[in-house]
Chains A and B, each alone.
Chain A
Amino acid sequence: MPLMPVKFTLQKRVKLAQGLWMLYWASVMLGILIFSLGIFFKVELRKRSEMMDNNESHLVPNLLILMGLLTCAINAFGGKVCHDSLDPMKFSKWKPVLKQFFVSCLLFNAALLLVALLCFLMQFSVYLTLAEGLKYSIRFYKDTDTPGRCFMKRTLDMTQIEFRCCGNNNFRDWFEVQWISNRYLDMSNEEVKDRVLSNVEGKFLMDSVPFSCCNPGSPRPCIQHHLTNSSAHYDYDLRSEELNIWTRGCREALFSYFSSMMSSMGALLIFTIILESADMAGLKYLTTSLESMSDPENPECESEGWLLEKSVKETVCETLAKLKAVVKPNQVQEGGDEPAT
């Protein structure tokens, strides 16, 4: 008993072929979109790689690029088959490969599902990489004379300005590192010597933040230095001051940016899986209706199309039996040999 059989007249077959052809080309467009989104994601990761200590994993964008290309290829092939389907001569040359095509479509859908899952799960990895990377960025902020790190200051400043954030968790991260290079510290100054001696590692620590933490929306000109000292500034109270500098941490800001990107890509991939399944179902109906034509010479005749030749359970049992035969051919032969002797 075939699964979900549908009767097809010539008119219906033609309509199905045309509709399916357009659907396949829409899927090709979707493949191109996935490809370009993969490239965009890769470029964004490269741009922010300094914030992640060059440790970021490019697995997701690479897979997206690959999946995009595969989507284009498979759907272009499917479109070609549709295009040729109403011409019996052209269609006959595609008939032998159809079975392999369906199997590869199924595998491709499974791969898409895997990549979609990765898009959602790899967000954790991005979060951890960001936490580590930002910690090092803040530490190396002052090293503008060290080769390999001389642009860290500029990158971190631009990131804080662009993403409207300050520090790793919040602005207090800047109080724990020395972010002014020793080249600009007057070591003969009493105050400098006091600060350097006040901690074990001999770092010049301040309760100040860089200018890039300043919030332009504050009604007051930015207060960067002596942030914890309410009496250092006129009419200033640290606890109630909210608009002076950005309160959000850069890890949270960057993470929300990347996670929204990855989530939308995951959603797009799931939509692609649904579209691919619809394509596969349509193609199966089309090919079965063409193959089951009772009189191949007469194109006007009615035919029946179905999704599976037998019911789901029987098809699954058959497939498993075939797989077992492929995996264990020796055992079957031995069993066959015994009765002969």
Chain B
Amino acid sequence: MLLKMKFSQQRRVRLAQGLWLLSWAAVMCGAFIFCLGVYLKIELLCRAEVMENTEIHVVPNILLLVGLASMGTNWIASRVCQDSLDMSRFPRWKVLLLAWFAVAALLCCLLVTVVVLSYALQGRLEESLKIGLRNGIRFYKDTDVPGRCFQKETIDRLQMEFRCCGNNNYKDWFEVQWVSSRYLDFTSKDVKDRIRSNVDGRFLLDGVPFSCCNPASPRPCLRYQLTDNQAHYNYEYQTEELNLYSRGCRQALTDYYMGLMNSTGPGVLSVILIQVSVIVSLRYLQTAVEGAMASENPEDESVGYLLEKGLKETFEDLKSMALNMLKYAQVDPATPEASPEAEAEKADNAAVSLTPAS
């Protein structure tokens, strides 16, 4: 027996009561995990326009699933506790308990997976943001193209809210035409020069949109001719730090989401701990009550354990049970083959027995 403990009637009652409270606490934890999943999903959906793929959504999806399943599982555990001290009602849970342990263990594994995934998917999130933001910046000017007309507003609000500029930094805006051609005077010499200065015929500026401006700068925001020190009085772009936001939006968004998922890490870990303690306590309760019911005097002391045999033996047992189930599947096709042969043999024997008679 693995980790056996003696349980008197008093201790069994105490264990059942304590476990009932613990399983209701675990139901609350399941609700907490569900709400966490909802919050994370909403935050990701809000910024779905600047993300190229939805791979990162697997984290909140698992949290939602596990939250719901955990609420149901722990509610069942509380019902089992309530019935555990009643000899007539406990036996009906016997069959269900094995399945319950499997489901609860699966939930714990899923929660651990979530914690691992939230760190592992950081690289994918950055990639997705990089492509999404690049497209956002490229389509900033297309406010008249259906499907892209809100790109400008989205990027502007994103830059203002997260205090960032561009993809990696503000120079990303120098490489795209972010002023729509509808607002360019093509008769102007300056415009014609700029368009001819590059292969694609784009109107490129060393300027940024207003949403890159940093309100904390002591100076009114300088947005145009940023690389030209002579264009502005007392201005040197190499040393100017406060004028625009220096951080790139990809970095800002990644930090934000990683921070969100990291702060949920301790919560998820404590939920895993509570779930594991519910599993262990329920196993002890199950074995103690079954032991008490099996003995002549149900009020007597009984022994509770985690596993009936040692760890290695239980594993061997499970393996042989699994193999038996597979073998049983193999034996079945063999028997229908044997029976037509047997019947043919019987028919031959009957024919042979008939002929000597005539």
Contacts and interface: CB of A to CB of B under 8 A. Distances in A.
Interface of A: 142, 144-145, 150, 153-154, 157-158, 161, 179-181, 183-186, 189, 210-212, 214, 216-217, 219-222, 224, 233-235
Max chain B C-beta neighbours (<10 A), residue from A181, A189, A219: A219
Interface residues of B, number: 31
B209 A221 contact: yes
Contact of A211 (B157, B179, B218, B221): B221
Contacts of A235: 182-183, 185
A220 B233 CA distance: 27
Given A211-B210, A211-B213, A220 B218 contact: no
A221 B179 contact: yes
B219 interface: yes
Given A184-B220, A222-B209, A216 B157 contact: yes
B185 A234 contact: yes
Interface string B201-227: 000000001110101101111010000
B220 A179 contact: yes
Interface stretch (B51-59, B148-156, B264-272): B148-156
Given A211-B213, A216-B156, A221 B178 contact: yes
B183 A221 contact: yes
Nearest to A222: B210
Interface of B: 141, 143-144, 149, 152-153, 156-157, 160, 178-180, 182-185, 188, 209-211, 213, 215-216, 218-221, 223, 232-234
19 contacts: A150-B218, A153-B218, A154-B215, A180-B220, A181-B218, A183-B234, A184-B233, A184-B234, A186-B234, A210-B221, A211-B223, A216-B152, A216-B153, A216-B156, A216-B157, A220-B183, A222-B210, A234-B188, A235-B183
Contacts of B149: 219
A194 B149 CA distance: 42
B219 A184 contact: yes
B233 to A, nearest CB: 4
B220 A217 contact: no
Contact of B220 (A150, A186, A210, A220): A210
A161 B160 contact: yes
A145 B219 CA distance: 10
A220 to B, nearest CB: 5
A237 to B, nearest CB: 13
Contacts of B153: 216-217
Nearest to A157: B215
Contacts of A186: 233-234
A214 B183 contact: no
Contact of A234 (B183, B209, B233): B183
Nearest to B188: A234
Nearest to B159: A216
A309 B144 CA distance: 77
B209 A220 contact: no
Contacts of A214: 210-211
Contacts of B213: 211-212
Contacts of B180: 219-221
A102 B144 CA distance: 69
